[in-house]
Amino acid sequence: MTYDRLVCANCAAPVSQGRCPVCRANRERLQQEGPFAGLNPVTLIALLVALVAALALVARTA
């Protein structure tokens, strides 16, 4: 899940806006979880499709 859809229980604002200290702390934690944590699912799917297409192209030429 991406953090742009999460709602803070402390201030009832989106976590991505970082309005309160709890939001800011959770936003930092979520951004540091991994290299793909900040990407939205559509971007991840597009990268996966590009990778599969490149592998198919390599397999076809070999």
Q: Is the pLDDT reported for residue 1 higher than 50?
A: no
Q: φ, ψ for residue 18 (rounded to 5)?
A: 65, 50
Q: How far apart are CA 29 and CA 50, in angstroms?
A: 29
Per-residue pLDDT at 31:
72
Note down the domain range covering 55.
3-61
0.75 surpassed by pTM: no
The better pLDDT of the pair 11, 51 is held by 51
Count up the domains in the chain and report the number.
Answer: 1
Per-residue pLDDT at 47:
93
Q: What pLDDT, in 10s, does the model give residues 5-49?
A: 778 888 888 877 888 988 888 878 877 777 766 677 888 899 999
Q: φ, ψ for residue 33 (rounded to 5)?
A: -70, -30
Helices (H), the chain: 21-31, 41-61
